[in-house]
């Protein structure tokens, strides 16, 4: 079944429309370091402003554990949104309290207000259905309709994502519509060869996606922190590199299944091994089967794929018609360990077909390394959400908008 889109809500002129966005941007000392997620909401907001709707923008930011915490205030995000929209944006100092109600009451057609961080309220993420519902009910009082556009949270059964969509007339915004279109192309009849590149640090999170994608893809490339669990499964020592010992058996199973199904599973032939986890650490390139044969012995840390691996990965990527990439190839935040990620990103820009980047850190990495968004087919705003979509899981925030696989 298909998603309910904006058109299904009819005319929204003069209506109070809650837009559940994902404005969970990275902040350093109160300054936004990557405003990609704010930019991603602009098409929906502009479409609603053009219709003369009165917008109440709601989002979470960080993990403030159900109580107000100035560190996670959405105020700087509201300011940035105002700059990007080129119009004033009001800010309510609470989410469903007096300030929010006042801000909503003073909205004129086409006006925008941002309400304070949803997660300052325990009901937003509560596991207790009653508590969650009660908070959603309070949110529902602020608006006449809900436009759900926070793709990064659609895999969460949370008050503003799930319950609120049942309480008010609701539909997907343009961002969710685009995300679902693109991810659907990755699952239904992708153009072949189809390659998936996985990296990053959350190894066990990403192993699930391998299991689901194994029967669907032609090639899986494994880099980032995850590679060491694969190398360990092959019997190689990995020093002090990131390793999930309890996943080694699972990974062995994947390697066997890949062989049976004729899926090419490529993991690194070399890595950049460092003496410690720091930007100025000494480092050398070591062969994947000899990671401890460096001056740092068993205390060496693999922090990037090696140059030979990067070349092999880039060739496999360029030779594919469909590529999905999630997770940096190394600790790209430190320039000495960014080169594998950069080579992979460059190869994705050269794909003659559909290239998709998913994941918060992966998206931040390509921007930080100087690639503009338009060089990729699509940059997904949701890491966990896009992985769960590709795993074929039911996503509550999409199902509630009419979507089903």
**Residue positions annotated with a catalytic role:** 37, 202, 360, 384
Q: Is the dihedral of CA 183, 189, 192, 198 positive or negative?
A: positive
Residue closer to Mg ion by CB (options 348, 401) is: 348
Residue closer to ligand ADP by CB (options 100, 233) is: 233
**Tokens representing 15?**
């209506």
| Cβ 200 to ligand ADP shortest distance, Å | 3
Q: Which does 362 bind (CB under 5 to 8 A by kind): ligand ADP, Mg ion, none?
A: ligand ADP
**Tokens representing 317?**
């990527």
Residue closer to ligand ADP by CB (options 79, 346) is: 346
**Tokens representing 148?**
């759900």
| Cβ 373 to ligand ADP shortest distance, Å | 15
Residue closer to ligand ADP by CB (options 16, 60) is: 60
The conformation of residue 164, written as its DSSP 8-state character, comes to H
Q: What is the DSSP string of 274-297?
A: ESSSSTT--EEEEEGGGTT-STTG
**Tokens representing 349?**
């820009």
| Cβ 196 to ligand ADP shortest distance, Å | 13
- From residue 341, give the alpha-carbon distance in Å to each of 71, 232, 281, 375: 30, 22, 19, 15
Q: Which does 186 bind (CB under 5 to 8 A by kind): ligand ADP, Mg ion, none?
A: none
Site for Mg ion in 303-362 (CB under 5 A): 360-361
Residue closer to ligand ADP by CB (options 121, 229) is: 229
**Tokens representing 35?**
């405003």
| Cβ 359 to Mg ion shortest distance, Å | 6
Q: Nearest residue by C-beta to Mg ion?
A: 361
| Cβ 160 to ligand ADP shortest distance, Å | 22
Indicate whether 22 belongs to the interface with Mg ion (CB under 5 A): no
Distance CA 211, CA 255 (A): 10
Distance CA 304, CA 65 (A): 33
Q: Which does 116 bind (CB under 5 to 8 A by kind): Mg ion, ligand ADP, none?
A: none
Q: Is the dihedral of CA 23, 29, 31, 34 positive or negative?
A: negative
339-362: string of b/e by CB count within 10 Å (b at 16+)? bbbbbbbbbbbebeebbbbbbbbb
Q: Which does 349 bind (CB under 5 to 8 A by kind): ligand ADP, Mg ion, none?
A: none
- From residue 278, give the alpha-carbon distance in Å to each of 14, 108, 303: 54, 52, 10
Among 171, 146, 172, residue whose Cα is nearest residue 159: 146
Chain residues binding ligand ADP by CB under 6 A are 199-202, 224-225, 242, 302-303, 326-328, 330-331, 333, 359-362, 383
**3-state SS class at 379:** strand
Angle, helices 174-187 vs 36-50, to 10°: value is 120
Q: Which does 242 bind (CB under 5 to 8 A by kind): Mg ion, ligand ADP, none?
A: ligand ADP
Q: Which does 302 bind (CB under 5 to 8 A by kind): ligand ADP, Mg ion, none?
A: ligand ADP
Site string for Mg ion, 361-380 (x = CB under 5 A): x-------------------
Residue closer to Mg ion by CB (options 300, 358) is: 358
| Cβ 331 to Mg ion shortest distance, Å | 13
Binding residues for Mg ion, per CB under 5 A? Answer: 360-361
């Amino acid at each position: 079944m298909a998603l309910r889109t904006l058109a299904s809500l009819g005319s929204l002129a003069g209506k109070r429309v809650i837009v559940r966005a994902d404005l969970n941007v990275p902040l350093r000392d109160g300054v936004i370091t990557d405003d990609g997620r704010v930019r991603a909401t602009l098409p929906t907001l502009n479409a609603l402003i053009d219709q003369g709707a009165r917008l109440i923008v709601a989002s979470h930011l960080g993990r403030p554990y159900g109580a107000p915490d100035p560190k996670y205030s959405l105020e700087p995000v509201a300011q940035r949104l105002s700059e990007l929209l080129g119009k004033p944006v009001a800010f309510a100092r609470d989410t469903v309290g007096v300030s929010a109600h006042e801000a909503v009451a003073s909205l004129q057609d086409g006006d925008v207000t941002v309400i304070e961080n949803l997660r300052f309220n325990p009901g937003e993420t509560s596991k207790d259905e009653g508590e969650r519902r009660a908070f959603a009910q309070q949110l529902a009082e602020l608006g006449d309709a809900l436009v759900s556009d926070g793709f990064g949270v659609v895999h969460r059964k949370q008050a503003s994502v799930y319950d609120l969509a049942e309480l008010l007339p609701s539909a997907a915004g343009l961002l969710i519509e685009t995300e679902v279109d693109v991810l659907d192309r990755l699952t239904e009849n992708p153009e072949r060869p189809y390659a998936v590149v996985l990296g990053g640090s959350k190894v066990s999170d990403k192993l699930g996606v391998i299991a689901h994608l194994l029967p669907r893809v032609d090639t899986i490339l494994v880099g980032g922190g995850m590679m060491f669990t694969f190398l360990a499964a092959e019997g190689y020592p990995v020093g002090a590199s990131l390793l999930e010992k309890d996943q080694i058996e699972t990974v062995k199973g994947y390697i066997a299944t890949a062989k049976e199904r004729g899926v090419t599973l490529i993991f690194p032939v070399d890595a950049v091994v460092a003496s410690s986890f720091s930007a100025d650490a000494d480092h050398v390139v070591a062969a994947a089967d000899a990671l401890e044969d460096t001056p740092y012995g068993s205390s060496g840390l693999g922090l990037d794929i090696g140059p030979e691996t990067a070349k092999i990965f880039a060739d496999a990527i360029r030779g594919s018609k469909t590529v999905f990439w999630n997770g940096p190839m190394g600790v790209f935040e430190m320039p000495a360990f960014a080169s594998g990620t950069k080579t992979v990103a460059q190869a994705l820009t050269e794909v003659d077909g559909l290239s998709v980047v998913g994941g918060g850190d992966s998206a931040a990495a390509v921007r930080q390394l100087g690639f503009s968004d338009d060089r990729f087919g699509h940059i997904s705003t949701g890491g966990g959400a896009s992985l769960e979509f590709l795993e074929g899981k039911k996503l509550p925030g999409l199902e509630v908008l009419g979507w089903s696989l």
